[in-house]
């Protein structure tokens, strides 16, 4: 490296914004680990298979009436962007995950920039490192879903809110309106984060900012209006059939776990993870209280960030006592605020050495557990579907029938082999898992069979794919096994069982000795 290059790099790093380079690079590196080797699951496969159909087909697959509501509950912002992305870069696992990697890495940069504006270089650097290594942020910064993009749009809206509140320039409020609208086009629960953001000037009685955000929010709703008119039908879909249950108070603890370690955790990790999450939260609260008591510089800004970390989840929690929509992964933007708040507690001037040391230890413990779990977890609903597809392709004979017990294993397998002749059984109509409407199935070109009889027909050999977890649920309830397995065992002889992690593939045959 020449002396001129070294000098330029040194000047850039010493610049107030140069501090963002290191965590940005770290975030990118961590999010690239395993993007081609980590297994996918149903939601990721659905995103690819749905987005590849194009915007017109997705509109039909989402908004066509199904019962009393729309066919699907998500707006099409992410899916439309994924469709365009796949048109440029293809549909390999690396390519489709790279969109979330890009969004998650950019989010780290914006979060650090916000921390720089609020608290200075030390907190900005700490924020970047925490964001780069946060298991919660890393997980959804890889997943082929809309959550990384949701985090990016809403932290950009937050940045514009802060800049607009500190100046008289309307450009920041225009930016807020645009990013707020993009957030709502990405996920319907973005509205709760935006509401909590808009409530802040009301709480602090900052009438100038309240007027500004009222106008900006109105502009955002105008931009969102083309989709807003469809929101009642999508909400009716949630009300009619959706898997989310009414959250109990324990979900506030799982929220802290999500922020610090992500979920799920193995039983042996759960106690340690919960201890780390509670310790980090309590220590940061103590430092916040101490800073407020001593009127430390910027403690009011820290209180704002703390508020953003928990206001939206609490609003959704209360709303979900009426209509359950509580979903930890939709709180990724709140998790960003949590990282900034903890970074401030770690770096603020009044923090004692012991408190800092304990925070660092607990953060390392929580991050290590979560990242290890993220990189190694292979249980339900994940599986090596590519291997399953190749095995079925090579072993199935002419006349065999391949049947999946549900969409959960069928769609990920179909992602790896679109032409594999396989079928799957429809979800019980009106049940909490009945989320893939018939019109959406038609758009995908993957319509479900109504029952085992219609799926199997007169086939003499049947390959049956089911998660062991699905079977064990019935065993724990006192049944001999899953009804689909029971039906096959009454009519066929069991020949072979192949197992990939939690996914079982049975071969049944009417011909003894086959």
Q: What is the pLDDT of residue 350?
A: 76
**Residue 138 near residue 261 (C-beta atoms within 8 A):** no
Sheet of 461-467, strands arranged across: 422-424, 401-404, 461-467, 503-509, 493-500
Q: Considering the chain, what percentage of its residues have pLDDT values greater than 70?
A: 94
CA dist 492 → 188, 468, 503 (Å)? 46, 20, 20
Burial 289-317 (b: 16+ CB within 10 A, else e): ebbeeeebebbebbbbbbbbbbbbbebbb
**Number of helical H runs and strand E runs in the chain:** 24, 5
Helix (H, G, I), strand (E, B) or coil at 79: helix
Q: What is the pTM of this model?
A: 0.94
Task: Tokens for 141, please give them.
Answer: 């910064």
Q: What residues does each domain of the chain span? A: 18-375, 385-509
Cα–Cα distance, 512 to 480 (Å, whole number): 23
Confidence at residue 231, expressed as pLDDT on a 0 to 100 scale: 87
Other Cβ atoms closer than 10 A to 203: 12
What's the rounded Cα separation, in Å, for the pair 424 and 445? 13
Cα 111 to chain centroid distance, Å, stands at 18
Peptide bond before 479: cis, by omega within 30 degrees of 0? no
Per-residue pLDDT, 309: 98
Strand spans (E) along 221-280: none
Q: Is 172 exposed, middle or buried (0-12, 13-18, 19+ CB in 10 A)?
A: buried
**Bridge-based pairing state of the strands 401-404 and 503-509:** unpaired
Q: Which tokens belong to 404?
A: 């999946």
pLDDT band at 3 (very low <50, low <70, confident <90, very high): low
Question: For residue 236, what pLDDT is reported?
Answer: 77
Judged against a pLDDT cut of 50, whether residue 513 lies above it is answered with no
Rounded Cα–Cα distance for residues 389 and 412 (Å) = 9
Q: What is the mean pLDDT of the chain?
A: 92
> pLDDT tens for residues 193-227?
999 999 999 999 999 999 999 999 999 999 999 99
Residue 243 is given by DSSP the state S
- Integer angstrom CA distances of residue 206 from 89, 213, 309: 47, 11, 20
- Mean pLDDT in residue range 324-330: 94
Tokens 């699905």 locate to: 470
Contact 136, 259 (CB under 8 A): yes
pLDDT tops 60 at residue 313: yes
Rounded CA gap, 160 and 354, in Å?
Answer: 36
Q: What is the pLDDT of residues 232-246, one digit of tens each?
A: 888 777 766 566 889
- Tokens 């990920």 sit on residue: 412
Average pLDDT over residues 363-375: 96
Q: What are the beta bridge partners of residue 503?
A: 467, 500
For tokens 């979060």, what's the residue?
111
pLDDT digits (tens, 9 = 90+) for 469-511: 999 999 999 999 999 999 999 999 988 999 999 999 999 998 8
Give the pLDDT score at 355.
86
Q: What percent of the chain has pLDDT over 90?
A: 82
Answer whether residue 55 shows pLDDT above 50: yes
pLDDT of residue 511: 81
Report pLDDT digits (tens) over 78-97: 999 999 999 999 999 999 99
Gyration radius of the chain's alpha carbons: 25
What is the β-pairing status of strands 422-424 and 461-467? unpaired
**DSSP structure class, residue 330:** G
DSSP-H helix ranges across 434-494 = 438-444, 452-456, 468-476, 483-491
393: number of CA atoms within 13 Å, CB side? 13
Q: By C-alpha distance, which of 378, 390, 334 is closest to 469?
A: 378
Kindly indicate the confidence band of residue 514, based on its pLDDT and cuts at 50, 70 and 90: very low
Q: What is the pLDDT of residue 65?
A: 85
Closest to 336 (Cα-Cα) out of 44, 106, 176: 106
Tally of CA atoms within 13 A in the half-sphere of 478 that contains its CB:
0
């Amino acid at each position: 490296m020449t002396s001129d290059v070294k000098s330029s790099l040194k000047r850039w790093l010493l610049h107030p914004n140069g501090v963002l380079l290191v965590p940005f690079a770290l975030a990118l590196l961590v999010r690239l680990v395993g993007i081609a080797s980590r297994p996918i699951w149903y939601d990721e496969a659905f995103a690819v298979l749905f987005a590849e159909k194009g915007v017109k087909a997705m509109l039909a697959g989402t908004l066509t009436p199904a019962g009393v509501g729309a066919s699907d509950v998500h707006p099409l912002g992410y899916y439309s962007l994924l469709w365009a992305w796949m048109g440029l870069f293809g549909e390999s696992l690396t390519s489709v995950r790279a969109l979330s990697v890009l969004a998650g890495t950019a989010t780290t940069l914006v979060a650090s920039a916000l921390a720089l504006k609020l608290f200075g270089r030390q907190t900005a650097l700490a924020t970047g490192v925490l964001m780069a290594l946060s298991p919660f942020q890393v997980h959804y910064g890889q997943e082929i879903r809309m959550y990384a993009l949701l985090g990016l749009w809403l932290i950009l809206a937050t940045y514009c809110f802060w800049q607009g509140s500190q100046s008289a320039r309307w450009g920041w409020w225009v930016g807020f309106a645009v990013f707020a609208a993009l957030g709502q086009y990405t996920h319907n629960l973005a509205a709760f984060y935006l509401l909590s953001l808009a409530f802040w000037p009301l709480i602090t009685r900052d009438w100038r900012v309240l007027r500004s955000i009222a106008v900006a929010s109105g502009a955002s709703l105008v931009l969102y209006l083309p989709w807003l008119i469809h929101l009642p039908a999508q909400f009716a879909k949630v009300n009619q059939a959706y898997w989310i249950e009414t959250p109990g108070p324990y979900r506030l603890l799982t929220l802290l776990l999500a922020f610090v370690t992500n979920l799920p955790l193995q039983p042996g990790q759960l106690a340690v993870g919960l201890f780390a999450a509670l310790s980090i939260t309590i220590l940061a609260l103590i430092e916040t209280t101490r800073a407020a008591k001593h009127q430390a510089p910027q403690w009011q800004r820290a209180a704002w960030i703390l508020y953003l970390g928990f206001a939206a989840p609490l609003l959704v929690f209360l709303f979900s006592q009426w209509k359950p929509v509580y979903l930890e992964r939709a709180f990724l933007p709140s998790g960003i605020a949590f990282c900034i708040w903890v970074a401030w507690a770690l770096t603020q001037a009044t923090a004692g050495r012991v408190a800092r040391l304990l925070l660092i230890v607990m953060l390392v413990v929580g991050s290590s557990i979560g990242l290890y779990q993220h990189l190694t977890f292979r249980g339900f609903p994940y599986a090596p579907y590519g291997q399953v597809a190749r095995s079925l392709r090579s072993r199935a004979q002419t006349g065999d029938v391949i049947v999946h017990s549900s969409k959960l294993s069928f769609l990920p397998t179909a992602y790896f082999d679109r032409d594999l002749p396989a079928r799957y059984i429809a979800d019980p109509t009106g049940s909490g898992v009945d989320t893939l409407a018939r019109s959406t199935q038609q758009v995908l070109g993957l319509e479900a069979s109504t029952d085992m009889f219609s799926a199997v027909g007169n086939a003499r050999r049947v390959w049956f794919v089911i998660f062991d977890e699905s079977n064990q649920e019935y065993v724990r309830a006192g049944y001999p096994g899953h009804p689909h397995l029971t039906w096959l065992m009454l009519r066929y002889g069991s020949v072979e069982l192949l197992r990939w992690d939690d996914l079982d593939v049975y071969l049944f045959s009417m011909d003894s000795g086959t």
